[in-house]
Amino acid sequence: MKILVLNSGSSSLKYQVIDMENEKVLAKGYFERIGQSNSFLTHKVNGEKHKFEHQAKNHEKAIEFVLKRLTNDHYGVIKSLDELSGIGHRIVHGGEKFKDSIIITDEVIQGIKDCIDLAPLHNPAAILGIEACKKIVPNMKMVAVFDTAFHQTISKNKYIYPVPYKYYEKYGIRKYGAHGTSHKYVANRIAEILEKDIKDLKIVNCHLGQGASVCAIKNGECVETSMGLTPLRRNSNGK
């Protein structure tokens, strides 16, 4: 079974094609500057990088071009899109609506839109990617995978802030966490390396990148995390 994984940014698109039988990455790439005249794609397959300068005015055109690369005789890894069993979309914020990965429906898309206030730089971009795929491959099964889902096991006394409770009830002001897909993977990888059952471990993960967070994991479940309401962060100027 082969799947396509997409991570849509406001002007970018990252992707991987994974063979789930052996979890091998068959191809990966990064489309940058979508919507600009100098947009380009970096596509890596068989250990070789290929750069394509291609103007993509929106995510739909970018995804169309990526799919053509994936089925190309020289740069591709599949003969046709029929070889794909599904498309997975990384979604930053699912609020309290989504506690696990889920098949994408119109109701799920609306739920992601409802969480835009919690991730205004991320969720709109993810929706662009989903809507583009619906147009290009309308019969393809798609799954939404949420960064916040892994942290839904945090107890209420830890995710409620010491502010008037009405703000939680009215606006959903609480700790949600972020980088959940990374924290979940790393925790399971640690258990694999140690050759122990993750349910018997206590782990502290550090996710370091453009955004960073720490996560405490007990018996395979998140019990605390450093990132709170939203994945938005300050820049180097403190703004």
Q: Are 123 and 93 contacting, i.e. CB atoms less than 8 angstroms apart?
A: yes
Q: Which amino acid is at 200?
A: D
Distance CA 178, CA 211 (A): 9
List 73, 100, 114, 147, catalytic entry: 147
Q: Is 200 a catalytic residue?
A: no
Contacts of 167 (CB under 8 A, 6+ apart): 161, 173
CB atoms inside a 10 Å sphere around CB 165? 11
Distances, alpha carbon 169 to alpha carbons 30, 90, 112, 163, 173, in Å: 40, 27, 19, 11, 8
Catalytic residues: 147
